[in-house]
Amino acid sequence: MIFDHRDKLLMIGDSITDCERKRPYGEGIHGGVGKGYVAMVDALLTSAYPELSIHVTNMGISGNTVRDLKGRWETDVLELSPDWVSVMIGTNDVWRQHDQPTMKKSHVYLDEYERTLDELVERTLPKVKGMILMTPFYIEPNPQDTMRAMMDQYGDVVRGIAEKRECIFVDTQRAFEPLLRERHSSMIAWDRVHPNPTGHMVLARAFLQAVGFDWQKGQ
């Protein structure tokens, strides 16, 4: 696994990452890291690798786009001196183009998304051990669906940046495919965006698979 003793893992994103995490810093006991995939990652890392004492911090904020991340990157990422940074952003960048089609100021188009995310990654990499880039997703099996098709484009941007910057890449959209072959999307996320615990476990498993988690450890 990529993490070493006492590494600090900071996970940042939107509401899917936030999940009622503690303010100002989403860390510690009593639900400090929230109730979603970040909490599941933290629990699995702690239970399987207690000797590593990995410190997980959740800095997700509901409603954020990559533009919002840029505005708080210095205080919410760099000043916290993490060893690893995980980013999952893009859902609202796409969603606002569909649920607020006339409110152009809320839209983050593909060129700005790519430029901003790449800038944040380039700025951060010299200061950390590495970064994990997770695609945004839409829990919809039909790739021709308008929002799903656009989300896939944003996911392709994440893949390209991960390859260019040599970051760890997590394809969350692909991670949902086996589940969506057996279950309707309404059983995973009522709005096809905000997952229930099953959906969050899909995200946690995909993340841990990408970082080299040993699923047999401790058994």
Active site amino acids: 15, 191, 194
Query: Does residue 140 lie in a domain region?
Result: yes
pLDDT score, position 27: 98
pLDDT score, position 217: 84
Q: Taking residues 45-63, report their average pLDDT.
A: 97
| pTM over 0.95, yes/no | yes
Query: Does residue 20 lie in a domain region?
Result: yes
Compute the C-alpha angle 63/108/121, nearest 5°.
85
Domains in the chain, number = 1
Query: Does residue 61 lie in a domain region?
Result: yes
Output phi, psi for 135, to 5 deg: -70, 155
- Domain assignment of residue 118, given as a range: 8-210
Cβ(32)–Cβ(79) below 8 Å = no
Residue-averaged pLDDT of the chain: 97
Q: How far is CA 8 from the centre of its chain?
A: 16
Per residue in 109-156, pLDDT tens?
Answer: 999 999 999 999 999 999 999 999 999 999 999 999 999 999 999 999
CATH of the domain at 158: 3.40.50.1110
Scanning the structure block, which residue is given the tokens 């954020």? 64
Alpha-carbon distance of 1 to 17, in angstroms, equals 22
- Which structure tokens are listed for 133? 């880039």
191: Cβ contacts below 8 Å, ≥ 6 apart: none
Query: Does residue 1 lie in a domain region?
Result: no
Per residue in 162-183, pLDDT tens?
Answer: 999 999 999 999 999 999 999 9
